[in-house]
Structure 1
């Protein structure tokens, strides 16, 4: 690895240490269904997002809710001594990427077969603090 590449990799690593995030990999539902739930909570306060996900009837909402709780736990581990209410956390980023596809065959009439694609996805949640954003703006 070259010097510039190593320096950039270290910068990215340091930036990741400051972020509070959680990643769900290989979730067995289609990315399209998961994006519908992700769009509901993008940019919302953490408590409001948890309420939305709790009462959303979709199965994907349960998985995103659990992932959001994991991201909150990661934030509290990095920021010991701070209260979540004082930091006013919000969902800064949430995005869904496609993962591997399981290809299966379903029998069809007259000896044919139709291909079934069982999709899966990766979900990433990044939390932000409104107080940290205000401190950066003041400086």
Structure 2
């Protein structure tokens, strides 16, 4: 491997190591409904986002709140030398994608059947930090 490729690989490895994420796979609520809640907290500071999620009545809000707490704990694990008070964490990105589908049958009139699609979603949350002075 050449010098430039090795340096680039090293840089990418460092970026990946410093990135703080948490993900929830096969979440049993559709991506469309979950995106509504995710849009409320995207780009917000962590404390404000937790307050918003606590008082949001949607079912997805509780799952995203739990995911956010997990991401904060991941940040604390990766940065034992930094105090949470010295750094302002914010939601750098939150992505909601479609997952698999559970397909069920709903009996219909005259011997027919309609398909019910129980949709699922994947949620990925990434935190960023702003240093307080």
Normalised to the residue count of structure 1, the TM-score between the two structures is 0.85
The match for 2:24 is 24
Q: Structure 1 residue 64 and structure 2 residue 64: aligned?
A: yes
1: CA distance, partners of 2:85 / 2:52:
18
2: CA distance, partners of 1:84 / 1:14:
22
Moved >2 Å (runs of 4+): 6-14
Shift in Å, 1:84 = 1.7
After TM superposition, the structure 1 = structure 2 runs for residues 85-124 of structure 1, keeping only pairs within 5 Å, are 85-124=85-124
Shift in Å, 1:102 = 1.1
After TM superposition, the structure 1 = structure 2 runs for residues 1-12 of structure 1, keeping only pairs within 5 Å, are 11-12=11-12
What is the aligned residue count? 130
Equivalent position SS for 1:118:
strand
Which structure: greater helix fraction? Answer: 1
For structure 1, which runs of at least 5 residues remain unmatched after alignment?
A: 135-139
Normalised to the residue count of structure 2, the TM-score between the two structures is 0.89
Which structure: greater strand fraction? Answer: 2
The match for 1:137 is none
Equivalent position SS for 2:82:
coil
Shift in Å, 1:81 = 2.9
For structure 2, which runs of at least 5 residues remain unmatched after alignment?
A: none
Root mean square deviation of aligned Cα: 2.1
1: CA distance, partners of 2:97 / 2:10:
25
1: CA distance, partners of 2:12 / 2:64:
26
